[in-house]
Structure 1
Amino acid sequence: MEWLNYHHLFYFWTVAREGSVTRAAAALHLAQPTLTAQIRTLEGSLGGPLFTRVGRGLAMTDLGRVAYGYAEQIFGLGRELLDASRGRTGAGPIRFAVGISDALSKLTVFRLLRPALELEQPVRLSCIEEGNEVHFAMLLRHELDLVLSDVPFTPRSGPRAYNHLLGEAPVKLYGTKALLRRHPGSFPGRLRGAPFLLPPRDTALRRALDHWLDRERLEPAIVAEISDGALLKTFGGEGRGFLPAPAVLEEAMARQHGLHPAGEVPGIRERIYAVSAERRLQHPAVLAIREAAVREVFV
């Protein structure tokens, strides 16, 4: 069985934290050539370089960032073990890295994540907003504990991710009171030719809305396509057009943005998936999110 040399990993971790071999060597009381040789041995074990030169400094490679993530967890657990063995209370915060699809409502995401920050043991939350392909790669490298997405992950081959449906909600179209007055009548006919603010065409919600708009022959005037949900609502609050949002946010839409429902879009629902690299959800923060989805968000 091949074993990892944890001394070498610790040296690498120290260099990464210090930002230079010189400072790390001083902190470790080692000669610089000795420290450099130890890291090269680790690179040989892991099959690639961990650092690359950027000007006069060092930057971690993709492999280096993966190794650093594992080292953080390994040595963090080591510190917790020492604390526990010495009878100390208040172990360090739990690391919890979450990838967030930019198609999701930020308020819905906040409501889901909030219980994770209210656990008895403190949580250090890290939110990363990237595309699904980037999130999937980070999930498989264990750089993320969870991804919140509007669509399930369906990799074509190789390692798979596990999709856990947290909940779903009807979608309504919202506008300011002034915009609603300019487009009177019954829904959805009142929206014929009206200005719209929509998410990008590569999102599940946009595809469903396009199909519905075509079926109803509403011929909207698309003012803007905006991927960031918060920016979409800001434009909507300025009266620039009607926009979609989950029905569960109706009260918050009125309070925060002055937006009111024009009507519910039949057959369209916003779904949120918790995507993990493991079949069973075990991380305490993830379990808190799942419980919140059932108890507080999608009710």
Structure 2
Amino acid sequence: MKTTGFNYRHLYFFWVVAKEGGVTRAAERLGLAVQTISTQLALLEKELGKSLLQPQGRRLVPTEAGRLALGYADQIFLLGEQLQDALADADAEKMRLTVGISDSLPKLMAYRMLDATRSMNVAVKLVCLEDEFTSLLADLALHKLDLVLTDRAVPAGASLRVASHLWGESSMKLFGVPGLAARYQQDFPRSLNGAPFLLPTRNNALRGRIDEWMVQQGVRPDVVGEFEDNAMLNAFGRKGLGLFFAPASLAAEIAEQFGAVLVGDASALREQFYVISNERKISHPALQVILDAVQRTGSTH
């Protein structure tokens, strides 16, 4: 039966208890009496007509109904926190843009993709969060993020109400620290047989294309490391543990930040970059600026 006058304060107490794993710890966190928390929980369960928590050892854990309620509570109170932050930023005359960045995306490219926001008349406060592609899409669908920057489009047939926008693409180049690179520059790419390589893991959108390129060139490298996080891959590359691919458009930054030099040009190998947005009626102004910049400059960077 549908209820009226739902008490969100009761729901908040349930949320804290579920997060803390018990009434006592929740009471300590909130600075309230244990009896107060217990009474509010009982009222919520009576209002909903379902038990939300059950004992498991020394902890309280959500029931099946409780897990469902907790999912909604997460969204409600996270949005509440974002509202407070947004209002604080508005007082400071700033526009808040919460961005999810795929861990496989080159971080220098992420900076370029967000650079268009600097042209806005209002100051933009960027909140950048890094995670795996699928986790970011879920957060975007729940409106926890304003947009996602990544190296792949949303798979066809996905049930999430999100849209992929091709921001650009770049051919790839192979880099390495000077001493290592010098050993493989001559007779590239045949020189790469047995060369130490740092590559993305196989769940990365680029990895399949790299493997195909290797087969086409007839070379079999020594893969000394595989990384989900592009920043970690580059860090190992900077220490000279292996050769690594990077977008040709970032060649100058790669040389400056990682002390790496060009080993060879893999122009047939290309990486794409996408902005993923939520399908909402009102678009975030900063997102629109980013997408407008794509249309003005084309899709190759």
**TM-score, normalisation: structure 1:** 0.75
CA deviations 1:67-119 (Å, max 9, x no partner) are 233334357658988x9xxxx944786362x3332221122123334555886
Query: Does 2:23 align with 1:22?
Result: no
Query: Does 2:44 align with 1:39?
Result: yes
Between 1:69-78 and 1:157-166, the stretch displaced more is: 69-78
**Structure 1 match to 2:279:** 278
**Structure 1 match to 2:203:** 202
Task: Letter of the 1:13 partner, please give it.
Answer: Y
CA deviations 1:174-210 (Å, max 9, x no partner) are 1122122212424323333322111112222111111
In 2, Cα distance between the equivalents of 1:90 and 1:274? 27
In 1, Cα distance between the equivalents of 2:110 and 2:163? 19
1:214–1:157 distance in 2 versus 1, CA, 3 Å:
closer
* Contact 1:101/1:129, CA 8 A, preserved across alignment: yes
Residue 298 of structure 1 deviates from its aligned partner by 5.6
In 1, Cα distance between the equivalents of 2:85 and 2:258? 46
Task: Letter of the 1:170 partner, please give it.
Answer: S
Task: Letter of the 1:129 partner, please give it.
Answer: D
1:225–1:137 distance in 2 versus 1, CA, 3 Å:
same
Query: Does 2:112 align with 1:111?
Result: yes
Between 1:270-279 and 1:47-56, the stretch displaced more is: 47-56
* Contact 1:112/1:297, CA 8 A, preserved across alignment: no
How many residues are paired up? 288
**Structure 1 match to 2:251:** 250
**Structure 2 match to 1:129:** 131
Q: Structure 1: any 5+ residue segments left out of the alignment?
A: none
Task: Letter of the 2:210 partner, please give it.
Answer: L
Query: Does 2:69 align with 1:68?
Result: no
In 2, Cα distance between the equivalents of 1:287 and 1:191? 43
Task: Letter of the 2:8 partner, please give it.
Answer: L
* Contact 2:167/2:274, CA 8 A, preserved across alignment: yes
CA deviations 1:131-174 (Å, max 9, x no partner) are x3333333333333322221111254644431111111111111
1:258–1:58 distance in 2 versus 1, CA, 3 Å:
same
**Structure 2 match to 1:94:** 96
Instruction: Give 3-state SS (helix, strand or coil) of 1:204's partner.
Output: coil
Residue 57 of structure 1 deviates from its aligned partner by 7.5
Instruction: Give 3-state SS (helix, strand or coil) of 2:136's partner.
Output: helix
Report percent identity of matched pairs.
29
* Contact 1:52/1:61, CA 8 A, preserved across alignment: no
* Contact 2:103/2:130, CA 8 A, preserved across alignment: no
Task: Letter of the 1:39 partner, please give it.
Answer: L
Task: Letter of the 2:111 partner, please give it.
Answer: F
CA deviations 1:9-68 (Å, max 9, x no partner) are 24433664696553687679x9444422343357x39x8848997956789957525423
Task: Letter of the 1:254 partner, please give it.
Answer: A
In 1, Cα distance between the equivalents of 2:258 and 2:14? 47
**Structure 1 match to 2:166:** 165
In 2, Cα distance between the equivalents of 1:124 and 1:31? 39
